[in-house]
Structure 1
Amino acid sequence: MKRFYSVLLIFSLFTFSLYADEGMWLPSLIKERISDMQKNGFKLTAEDVYSINQASLKDAIVHFGGGCTGELISEKGLILTNHHCGFGQIQSHSSLEHDYLKDGFWAMSMNEELPNKGLSVKFLVKMEDVTEKILKGHNSNMTESQRIELVQTNSGFVVKEAKENTHYDAKVESLYYGNQYFLFIYEIFTDVRLVGAPPSSIGKFGGDTDNWMWPRHTGDFSIFRIYAGKDNKPAPYSKDNVPYKPKKFFSISLKGVNEGDFTMVYGYPGRTQEYLMSDAVKYISSVSNPHKINLRTMRLNIQNEEMSKNAEVRIKYASKNASVANSWKKWQGEAKGIVRLNAVQNKIDFESEFAKWAKDKPEYSNLLNAISDIYKKLEPLAFVNDYQNEAISANEIIRFAGIVSAAAEKNSKMTPQVSAANIALIAEDFYKDYYLPIDKKSFTAIVGEYSKNVPWQMQPKYFLDKISEYKTVESLASYIFDNSIFSSKDRVLSFIADGVIPGKFNNDPAMVFYNEFNHHFTHKFKPVIDALNNDLNLLYRTYMRGQMEFKKNKSFYPDANSTLRIAYGKIKGYAPADGVYYKHSSSLEGIMQKDNPQIYDYDIPQKLRDLYTSKDFGKWAVKGTVPVCFIATNHTSGGNSGSPVLNSKGELIGINFDRVWEGTMSDIVYDPDMCRNISLDIRYVLFVIDKLAGAQHLMDEMKIVK
């Protein structure tokens, strides 16, 4: 117990940040940051930001779809998030007849709002430190595996207790590599309907060319609405459901932004790794990222070529293509940022200082050597893991075979006819967005890279035998795609017409490929990787404590893990290169400068051209134009997409949607000179809703303040 309390003391002491704008802070502990926030211009209290006793800002924020953030902007459950966060839903409702991706969608009444199967949003009810409960029964003689089992068992008890006699969900999350544990209690709504989205020529303006870049002119927003039962509690989709009445929704400020203004991003950042050792950062930047970039470049080139030739294929692959491209470009910026910052050497220098401090401290003296030894063992396995994910599992037909295999196993106790019906539903969902020529070309390209780059001793014998038999990956691809039932929906439905029993798919070429690679990886590599990661987690947990003891004047915010966080900073431009300075905002002028009907990503709607020509900007005009985007120093990550950007009064001034390319390494190392989050100015959102969509009924729902 002594060690337990000393750890808590360490965590409560470190409240001085190295950089004023760095950090992703837990809302329940915001009292430790509120003084600094107020010094920087924030005008609210900690209780205004997070409270379990009264409505607070947290009650106007949702985790959208598990990977984005959204914010409430009306008393009728209206949500703002990014266009790219709602892209999958917009695409699912699109067809050649109703191409909402191209033309946009606006429900002119609640009756026209579109339901979205599988989409949910969740509100944080409260979070609390449960470290003592989770580590109850722990002793220093336990192995890491025993500790993990204890944590899982105790977490189960804590979650069960939290959910008892409520309609809430709950989850225990680890912080600081398991030095602390927090319980998060959520209210989840599953009836979430699409209300509006601009055309992709606005919502995705600039496409992948402008992705991660500044200056930016993307109108990256979409609008949804939460529906609830008549008791205002979560309910499955029903025509009888009514708009949800939130505890809190954001007022929308028209004041705008100026250089130096306080800003705050409140959302669900996905994953950061700020405390990695130099070994890991070096592997990521010099080995892992270059190979993953190469594999995704191949996939994107194939997709883009086919999408440019066929409108139906463009719709089918729009969401997939955007998803592949997003990480692809981010990894490139991350690698460049790590090199530019000399991050690996800086980590090495810190580790040298730490080693000198730790040399007479038994708990820490050999820690860095132990971590390095594990990385030496882990790196070749991580390389195989990267190729398993990016070159094997990335093939759609192979991945679908795995899904069917899991479904058949899960359905094994059902009648063959019921099992077949379930798999038929899965097939319908898969094939509506599938195009075989893309998948076959991708298979040939990326499996070819696997064959070339993964040491042959680490490849499955099955694969080596097949390459020996068919001579080339291209010939192997032809064999699989020509003979697999998974090559088309009709083949699958015909094959399962008489029912599905366990083992029915076992001889299919795509299923054999999936099973052989899956068995090879899960039996030969995964147990070793898991064991090494367990050892690594134990050492990092100790290293985390050691860093905190070593650097007592630095605050150590927990890495992002898709839990609600607060980041704050200021509106500020930046200098990406010698002789270049980017100001903090962009406007409609920049859209018109980029407008090019010959380039799909820059071909804006004619109506927007007409509004610009006539200068019909309405009350959204500022100095003869319309503000579009702005940048600030808030520390954000993936998952913050759609997050509300708030001013000093807690009013909505924008929607976070990206980071500048030069600062994408902020998931690993933060640079105050380069790290900028990109946000959509709320005034451009209102301009589009008002002038392009003519959706006055939505404007009437909002509370707009000057």
Structure 2
Amino acid sequence: MLKKILSFLLLVSLSVPFAAKADEGMWLPMLVKRLNYTDMQKKGLQLTAEEIYSVNNSSLKDAIVQFGGFCTGEFISPEGLLITNHHCGYGSIQSHSTTEHDYLTDGFWATSKDQELPNEGLFVDILVRMDDVTSKVLEGITPATTQEERAQLVAQRTKAIAQEASENNQYVTYVRDFYNGNEFYLFVYNRYTDVRLVGAPPQSVGKYGGDTDNWMWPRHTGDFSMFRVYMAPDGKPAPYSKTNVPYKPKHFLPISLSDKEQGDFAMVFGFPGRTKRFMTSHGLKLEVNQLNKSRIKLRDQKLNLWKEDMDKDAATRIKYASKYASTSNYYKYSIGQNAGIKRMHTIEGKIADEDKFQAWANADAQRKATYGNVLGDIASAYATIEKYNLGSIYLNEAVLGTEAMMLGYRFIPLYNSLKAGNAAATQKAIEDLRPRVESHFKDYNLPTDKKVFAAMMKAYSEDIAKDQQPEAFKSLVSKYKGNFSKLADYVYGNSFLMSEQKVNDFLKNPSQKKLEADPAFQLINAIMMNYVTNIAPKMAESNAILDKANRLYVAGLRLMNPDKVYYPDANSTLRLSYGTVKDYSPQDGVMYNYYTTLDGVMAKEDPTNEEFVVPAKLKQLYQAKDYGRYANSKGELVVNFITDNDITGGNSGSPVINGKGELMGLAFDGNWEAMTGDLVYDPDYKRCINVDIRYVLFIIDKYAGATNLIQEMTLVNDGNPGAADAATAEVKTKTPQAELLNATMEEANEKLRAGKTEFKIEKKKGDAKVKLQVKD
């Protein structure tokens, strides 16, 4: 075995991982020093709290961005090179794809910066700072303040605080509430809108396993894509321009080539979307029995109709690829969430917690006065919400889940301005509509949407209480005797909203009368007006009661358990979670390893199934075992690995960072057994599924040949003795010494591959000299 490399020493750290529980919590990074730092150190963190989050100095937070408002990305070079998930960049990749240049199928790689592709509407937000503004927001508000007055004061103050912090709109700012309205924090961001596509693997790599493997482990998916952020020459954010220059991040992540072992520290840093872990049993019942069941039913119908047409036509497949993927994601999630809640007896556990809370509140007269009616108010509010909630769900999933109806909905502001005779508002509405219209028709297939419309309207008619449906809709259903195919023929055959040319002609000379006469607009306007006048007010009354009761419930929980450190629900603000690399057993007699390899990709290969096609070049590299420096110490090419980090939607693309602050993977999914994550944390089964950064580099380098991108990065190898390139060193400069060192390392690798354990290499070039001695 290789023991030492003299003159260029590789140190290998050997440690025995300690037994560790899964770590629940998505923590605000500014509070890490006070709440979590000691525990993180015990698990293997070697950074200081200041190196994780600092306002005044470069820190990890400066390498993390909110990508497009829906994912996370991170800088991996001093030239603004950004990496995120393939599914996060999917919409941008799809937008540049045509049947002639199908980047979804073939992949895309810019070999120089002038080949990078701009993406209108895409942005990244980079956190400048976050501040606790609770005292400013709640100043003077007491228990005697009415809920309505409190809501008004909070809204006014949070808006004013954010506006002041924006410094005349130089920054993107907002104030978010935490712990159900008990605390408030200000967030200040720089927003960069010139974000260009740099690289993406073919979807046979980036989406390998497709919907079959989604939310599942083991996985074998190279889920990554690459972008570059640009700024004006003076360093400020600016719209796309050829004169813009690559953004210079205050911090970017070095990349670890080292092996990951069971028990190794792992930190996920990103923007988790929404969790509702303080939700009571009453809310959980509604989620399970109404939201999830409806989402499963309606999305299943829509996905089947889309897929039917996508399989028939390549152009339709490209148009609907991104929509299909995003719709499918939470369709499957809802199935898993319901199964997990049942398995974990989550509702029963919540009821037990609520019984304890009620007993605690009743045990003291003052507590009873403040908290004694909280759970009763929550139950009463949900009882009313349940009567109208389905109408709200179907509005989003069925009505606005139909593309033509969504387009019609976007015309409502224009209609209202025309009706009011407000010329300025009319002009603004037209300007807002034009890019939306262009985007809609670019990825639209009328026959497909028409079938979806018929199915969704049928479900709406059958499942929503008749007294909650608009008269205009019921009359239309009656006119066509419940034949929704004929109803669709009428609407789609007589609406100008079905033609891009007709829509653009209308926008040149819009009229209230023409909109009112359009059957598609008539329908969506009637459904929306019915919702606004008959459903939303009843929901709003109950939600106001619920907001107050939930706020008091969370405040009471924290008071009842003073020794417990509660983390706030995720709300699309920057958080970190920490844990370890960890395997798991999903059921009796089954144990899942903590990583997968390229062997598994080949084992799943099925050329007849588009989800499991393996590109020819990837097969060639596999057969030759040509993994370069990216193999692990066993000679395997690791594809994915799992940790027990606490994550949720929005964490897609988040960096998985080791104890030294180095990038070792990208989070891209959760596991099927723990789909309860938004509602309750599962300490036994929760796993974060990540793409190994070495597989990413292998695809970029060996598969795509995009070495220009590799050269931008800082690669770190802490030592994998026995790997094919145990003696690899990354050298950025092109000095004679650097060239000699690279050549020396390459020769050493060849000798190691050949099984030699003792050798010397000496090289000279001018005044430069390199000597390497390896001893067994």
| The one of 372, 379, 383 aligned to 1:372 | 379
Is 1:532 the counterpart of 2:539 in the alignment? Answer: no
- In 2, distance between residues paired with 1:416 and 1:535? 37
Deviations 1:227-254 (A, max 9, x none): 0111222111110000011100000000
TM-score normalised by L of structure 2? 0.87
In the alignment, residue 24 of structure 1 is paired with which amino acid? M
Is 1:672 the counterpart of 2:679 in the alignment? Answer: no
How far off is 1:286 after superposition? Answer: 2.6
How far off is 1:161 after superposition? Answer: 2.1
8 Å contact 2:414–2:430 — kept in the other structure?
no
8 Å contact 2:134–2:184 — kept in the other structure?
yes
- In 2, distance between residues paired with 1:328 and 1:417? 38
| The one of 560, 585, 594 aligned to 1:575 | 585
Is 338-347 or 438-447 further displaced after alignment?
A: 438-447
8 Å contact 2:40–2:578 — kept in the other structure?
yes
Label 1:53 to 1:442 Cα distance change in 2 as closer, same or farther (>3 A). Answer: same
8 Å contact 2:265–2:580 — kept in the other structure?
yes
Equivalence for 1:515: 525
Equivalence for 1:51: 54
1:189-208 mapped onto 2 (5 Å cutoff)? 189-208=192-211
5+ residue gaps, structure 2, are 1-19, 718-776
In the alignment, residue 149 of structure 1 is paired with which amino acid? Q
Deviations 1:591-643 (A, max 9, x none): 00111111011112111111111221111122233100011100000000000
- In 1, distance between residues paired with 2:474 and 2:39? 60
Equivalence for 1:500: 510
8 Å contact 1:91–1:319 — kept in the other structure?
yes
- In 2, distance between residues paired with 1:419 and 1:176? 37
- In 2, distance between residues paired with 1:208 and 1:179? 40
Equivalence for 1:10: none
Label 1:135 to 1:423 Cα distance change in 2 as closer, same or farther (>3 A). Answer: closer
Equivalence for 1:631: 642
| The one of 438, 457, 466 aligned to 1:447 | 457
Show structure 1 runs of 4+ deviating over 4 A: 407-412, 414-425, 494-497
Label 1:237 to 1:675 Cα distance change in 2 as closer, same or farther (>3 A). Answer: same
| The one of 309, 312, 318 aligned to 2:321 | 318
- In 2, distance between residues paired with 1:19 and 1:332? 27
Secondary structure class of the residue paired with 1:225: strand
Equivalence for 1:79: 82
Equivalence for 1:490: 501
8 Å contact 2:468–2:535 — kept in the other structure?
no
How far off is 1:61 after superposition? Answer: 0.4
Secondary structure class of the residue paired with 1:223: strand
Label 1:137 to 1:568 Cα distance change in 2 as closer, same or farther (>3 A). Answer: same
1:20-419 mapped onto 2 (5 Å cutoff)? 20-31=22-33, 32-164=35-167, 167-360=170-363, 361-362=367-368, 363-407=370-414, 409=416, 412-413=422-423
- In 1, distance between residues paired with 2:631 and 2:352? 51
Deviations 1:282-319 (A, max 9, x none): 22123321121010000000011110110000000001
Label 1:422 to 1:662 Cα distance change in 2 as closer, same or farther (>3 A). Answer: closer
Largest Rg, 1 or 2: 2
- In 1, distance between residues paired with 2:64 and 2:437? 35
8 Å contact 1:282–1:344 — kept in the other structure?
yes
- In 1, distance between residues paired with 2:626 and 2:543? 59
8 Å contact 1:211–1:326 — kept in the other structure?
yes
Is 572-581 or 561-570 further displaced after alignment?
A: 572-581
- In 2, distance between residues paired with 1:326 and 1:692? 28
Deviations 1:118-176 (A, max 9, x none): 01001111101001111123233322221111111111221122122672221100001
TM-score normalised by L of structure 1? 0.95
How far off is 1:424 after superposition? Answer: 4.9
1:654-665 mapped onto 2 (5 Å cutoff)? 654-665=665-676
- In 2, distance between residues paired with 1:420 and 1:584? 53
| The one of 468, 478, 486 aligned to 1:475 | 486
How far off is 1:404 after superposition? Answer: 2.5
5+ residue gaps, structure 1, are 1-17
- In 2, distance between residues paired with 1:195 and 1:375? 48
Secondary structure class of the residue paired with 2:646: coil
Equivalence for 1:15: none
- In 2, distance between residues paired with 1:389 and 1:201? 32
Aligned alpha-carbon RMSD (Å): 1.7
Label 1:668 to 1:249 Cα distance change in 2 as closer, same or farther (>3 A). Answer: same
- In 2, distance between residues paired with 1:21 and 1:50? 20
Label 1:423 to 1:543 Cα distance change in 2 as closer, same or farther (>3 A). Answer: closer
Equivalence for 1:11: none
Secondary structure class of the residue paired with 1:309: coil
- In 2, distance between residues paired with 1:490 and 1:232? 41
- In 2, distance between residues paired with 1:422 and 1:370? 42
How far off is 1:108 after superposition? Answer: 0.7
Label 1:424 to 1:70 Cα distance change in 2 as closer, same or farther (>3 A). Answer: closer
Count of paired positions: 688
In the alignment, residue 289 of structure 1 is paired with which amino acid? N
Secondary structure class of the residue paired with 2:514: coil
In the alignment, residue 147 of structure 1 is paired with which amino acid? R
